[in-house]
Amino acid sequence: MGTLKSRVAIAEQSPKERRSNFNEVCLGYNIDEARLEATRCLECKKPKCVEACPVSINIPLFIKHIKSGDIAEAAKVIDLDSSLPAVCGRVCPQEIQCEGSCVMGKKGEPVSIGKLERFVADWTIKNHLELTTKSSKRNSRVAVIGSGPAGLSCASDLAKMGYEVTVFEALHMPGGVLVYGIPEFRLPKSIVEEQINQLKRIGVRFELDVIVGKTITVDSLMEEEGYGAVFISTGAGLPRFMGIPGENLNGVVSANEFLTRINLMKAYQGDYDTPVYIGKNVVVVGGGNVAMDAARSAIRLGSNVKIVYRRSEKELPARAEEVHHAIEEGVEFCFLTNPVEILSDEKGWVNELRCVKMRLGEPDSNGRRVPEPIPNSAFSISCDMVIMALGTSPNPLIINTTKGLKSERWGGIHVVNEFGKTTRPGVFAGGDAVTGAATVILAMQAGRKAAAAIDEFLRERDSKHFNFSSAN
């Protein structure tokens, strides 16, 4: 029975040290620390943590194996439900999911489920443990478009079922948002690479630099290439802007572009000839995890950074851990502040952000209090770079080039059920391309549900074909 009210502390780089490098901030548990933390788990008979996990990992069971020191068995338990544990252990919002439902959190701190998952996954990689076994080979081929968390999870499950799976990726490296959107100090690219290598070892193929909708189409994949089903998991990579004057000035960029240049193209490394503009005084607009990632990256590149957010600190959508780290590293927060105009010098470069102070009014239909401008409260922030981190939308390319594929008014792909079935037979979709920008774990959940639906679709199709052939 667990008795410790407080979590076992986890080692981190000091704020002063990490401001000057892109190395991982959190250093993870060693085996003794992990086993001690695991003793805090009460092994609930009806574990609410499992109910709160989008992919339903048997959390008490894998933690029980950590307690006993059998890390290989813990890894096998996690592998039944998650193909990306080293990723999820680092970037999932556990505080509002599994850990947020942990009974230990009622009288103390919840069990560090995410850090324990990360420990098991890292141990598995370090010890070269092969986990996955495949079912007998199926004759059908499945195309997965996009190699982010939804696509990787779907591909993993289908490969385990015995299908021949090919993942088509528009960029030169697989991983989607895991490699272009999340900084090295939160998610090392070597970890993503190893998780993808595990998929390759069970037969998943990756085709890079392929833009579906231009290089090839969904129609050609199904009608000419012979794929029995297609899963669209292209994410939401189209950045949003505010529509205020001055957004086209030099020095105004989207967080998407800024992070892609740093994360995927390694602009932070001196031996990479990747162009990236970085100001001395940077303002990041937004309050989500992407805003934190952009601000903390700019800090590491030598900038003074302010985050401007139109609501209060209480309403920040970013993970508490990321906000805490940002504050430690020197990011300044300007709450209840909203930009209204960006001004420039005589050469067209940003030199000032005009803002107004806000106050929170009545709640909207979602229960969030609506920010309202305070009259006569305009003021300016001196800056030479503005990074817009206001969310993203799905790219319309595939929708516009695929017959029979219905979209939502806001741009996402329309699905007819929770398993990602679209209006085009044999075509399924999930993740941010359907929901808009969300979390890694929710995208993984969508990928797993779609894999189950694709399996059912192909089995039903093959059964009808068999019955028809037999009748003749």
- What DSSP string runs through 144-183? EE--SHHHHHHHHHHHHTT-EEEEE-SSSSS-THHHHTS-
Residues 6+ apart with CB under 8 A from 303: 278, 279, 280, 281, 282, 385
Separation of alpha carbons 87 and 118, rounded Å: 8
What's the longest Cα–Cα distance across the chain? 82
Separation of alpha carbons 453 and 263, rounded Å: 34
Kindly report the pTM of this predicted structure.
Answer: 0.93
> Percent of the chain having pLDDT more than 70?
97
Residues 6+ apart with CB under 8 A from 358: 310, 311, 336, 337, 338, 371, 372, 373, 374
For domain 241-390, give the CATH superfamily. FAD/NAD(P)-binding domain (3.50.50.60)
- What is the predicted pLDDT for the residue at 2? 44
Dihedral in degrees, nearest 10, Cα atoms 146, 222, 424, 397: 40
List of E strands, 26-128: none
- At 252-278, the pLDDT tens digits run 999 999 999 999 999 998 888 888 999
Q: Domain 141-237+393-471 carries which CATH code?
A: 3.50.50.60
- What is the predicted pLDDT for the residue at 150? 98
Q: How many CA atoms lie within 13 A of 183 on its CB side?
A: 30
- What is the predicted pLDDT for the residue at 130? 84
DSSP tag of 109: P
Going from the C-alpha of 406 to that of each of 97, 215, 216, 422, the distances in angstroms are 32, 21, 19, 7
List of E strands, 295-375: 304-308, 332-334, 337-344, 350-363, 369-373
Q: Domain 15-126 carries which CATH code?
A: 1.10.1060.10
Residues 6+ apart with CB under 8 A from 363: 369, 370
- What is the predicted pLDDT for the residue at 1? 43
Separation of alpha carbons 359 and 370, rounded Å: 8
Rg (CA), the chain: 23
What are the domain boundaries of the chain?
15-126, 141-237+393-471, 241-390
- Confirm whether 15-126 and 141-237+393-471 share one CATH topology: no
The list of the chain residues with pLDDT below 50 reads: 1-2, 468-470, 472
Residue 341, beta-bridge partner list:
354
Q: Which long-range contacts (CB under 8 A, 24 or more apart) does 313-321 make?
A: 315/287, 315/360, 315/368, 315/369, 316/287, 317/287, 317/288, 317/289, 318/287, 318/288, 318/289, 318/291, 318/292, 319/93, 319/95, 319/289, 319/292, 320/95, 321/95
